[in-house]
């Protein structure tokens, strides 16, 4: 049975996930109508870009940061040292990333986007690098962070509903999406200042280079993952009119919203799996299997439901104009089941048993397949190529992981 502490963390993380993805999903029908198909396409492209930048500047702390905090929690000196190390490293990365993204955006979308949008990218990227959700997850203290995030996200939605009225309000719509990360980041540092006696140190008894080396193997799978899941919309925008991006993105966002529901459970489980693996690999594997038997059937059911009724849902939620793009709902929902499966066998199992390289290479293989679809097949299949890249990439990841584990076990028997 799941204990009450785990239920609380799943509940709090569910609220964070609701505020991060499901609540904005409520806005999509509104924005798709107010902004129009073309401006909505640009909005979707910008959202994909800032999500990509957020993962890059996180530098894998959402995985290895959670694991390390779960092991050293209670030791304020080590916690503060870790936070300062991560802050220096990730702020440095964020400045480089923001510069490169803005440079690319000016080259591609100089006529469609104004200076306001480019400044938004810079500020969003910097605050993403300061995010400390991984600290709260590792400590399993999420109540207040969840509350703050949810309240600010709700305020953001209300302000969007009131003030975004036409395609000319695209910039305002983007800025309002930044309020939650701004508020939660400020709260996070106030919290650690009081509870951990944290003080900002830009130098001291920590090594940024050591953090970089340690985080690199965790960062690569995250980078591959975000490129895999978000680069499709960006490349579609490079080769097609933003209205095509807007039409397709409605179906993709619906599928990803459902897939994101597994996030709270997985994020709540991960610190416990990491701690259990640290104590006993056998017990850790049993824990993963127990949770997988609950999670995977639930998301398999959701997948089937969207395959059968997805097109009707798109028509009901977004309107008739998006129906012609919803043909992808016949197969795109498979992404939900496959991504959930890969989370358990990849993130949960491989990273907690110090086999990050297999996990990283698996995602690289899936990414390479997706990139083939995004950059080559998109010329022939249009938005269908993006959906094929997502589903096919997840299949490649699953095959790679299962084959690598089977090969590894075969070698153990030979040397046993």
Tokens of 350: 């491989």
For 166-204, the pLDDT digits (tens) are 888 888 888 998 898 899 899 989 988 888 888 887 665
Question: 253: which 2 tokens?
Answer: 């966002």
Residue 411: CB atoms within 10 Å: 10
In this structure, the number of other CB atoms found within 10 A of the CB of residue 316 comes to 10
Low-confidence residues of the chain: pLDDT under 70? 1-25, 202-206, 264-265, 267-268, 410-416
pLDDT of residue 312: 92
How far is Cα 54 from Cα 130, in angstroms, rounded to an integer?
10
Dist CA 60 CA 221 (whole Å): 8
What is the sign of the dihedral through the CA atoms of 386, 390, 395 and 401?
A: positive
Residue 28 Cα distances to 23, 222, 261, 325, 405, angstroms:
9, 26, 17, 15, 41
Residue 412's contacts (CB-CB under 8 Å, 6 or more residues apart) are: none
Q: Phi-psi region for residue 199, left (φ > 0), alpha (ψ -120 to 50) or beta?
A: beta
Half-sphere exposure of 5 (CA within 13 A, CB side): 7
CA 233 → CA 59, 152, 213, 227, 312, distances in Å? 22, 27, 31, 10, 23
CA distance 95 to 326: 38
d(CA 130, CA 181) in angstroms, rounded, equals: 9
CB 41 within 8 A of CB 239: no
d(CA 319, CA 79): 49
- Choose among 403, 406, 55: nearest CA to 221: 55
CA 333-372-235 angle, to 5 degrees, is 75
Whole-angstrom distance, CA of residue 225 vs CA of residue 25? 21
- Picking from 292, 264, 397, 245, the residue whose alpha carbon sits closest to that of residue 334 is 397
Q: Would the pTM count as exceeding 0.75? A: no
Q: How far apart are CA 357 and CA 363, in angstroms?
A: 10
């Amino acid at each position: 049975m799941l204990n009450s502490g785990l239920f609380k963390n799943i509940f709090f993380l569910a609220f964070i996930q609701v505020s991060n993805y499901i609540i904005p999903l409520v806005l999509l029908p509104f924005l798709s109508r107010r902004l129009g198909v073309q401006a909505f396409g640009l909005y979707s492209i910008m959202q994909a870009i800032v999500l990509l930048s957020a993962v890059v500047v996180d530098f894998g702390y959402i995985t290895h940061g959670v694991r390390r905090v779960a092991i050293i929690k209670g030791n304020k000196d080590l916690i503060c040292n870790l936070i300062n190390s991560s802050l220096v490293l990730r702020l440095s990365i964020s400045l480089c990333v923001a510069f490169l993204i803005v440079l690319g955006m000016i080259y591609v979308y100089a006529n469609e986007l104004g200076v306001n949008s480019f400044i938004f990218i810079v500020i969003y990227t910097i605050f993403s690098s300061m995010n400390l959700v991984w600290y709260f997850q590792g400590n399993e203290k999420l109540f207040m962070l969840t509350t703050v995030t949810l309240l600010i996200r709700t305020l953001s939605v209300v302000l969007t509903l009131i003030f975004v009225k036409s395609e000319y309000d695209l910039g305002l719509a983007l800025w309002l999406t930044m309020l939650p990360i701004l508020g939660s980041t400020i709260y996070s540092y106030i919290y650690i200042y009081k509870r951990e006696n944290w003080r900002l140190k830009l130098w001291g008894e920590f090594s940024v280079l050591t953090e970089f080396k340690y985080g690199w193997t965790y960062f690569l799978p995250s980078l591959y993952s975000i490129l895999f899941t978000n680069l499709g919309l960006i490349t579609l925008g490079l080769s097609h009119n933003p209205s095509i991006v807007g039409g397709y993105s409605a179906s993709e966002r619906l599928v990803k919203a459902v897939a994101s529901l597994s996030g709270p459970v997985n994020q709540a489980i991960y610190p416990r799996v990491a701690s259990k693996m640290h104590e006993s690999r056998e017990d850790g594997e049993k824990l993963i299997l127990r949770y997988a038997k609950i999670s995977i059937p639930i998301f398999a059911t959701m997948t089937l439901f969207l395959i059968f009724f997805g097109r009707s849902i798109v028509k009901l939620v977004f309107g008739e104009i998006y129906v012609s793009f919803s043909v992808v709902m016949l197969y795109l929902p498979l992404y939900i089941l496959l991504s959930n499966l890969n989370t358990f066998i990849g993130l949960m199992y491989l990273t907690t048993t110090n086999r990050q390289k297999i996990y990283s290479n698996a995602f690289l293989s899936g990414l390479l397949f997706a990139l083939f679809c995004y950059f080559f097949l998109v010329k022939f299949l249009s938005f269908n190529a993006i959906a094929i890249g997502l589903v096919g990439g997840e299949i490649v990841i699953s095959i790679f992981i299962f084959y690598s584990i089977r090969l590894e076990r075969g070698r153990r028997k030979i040397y046993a």
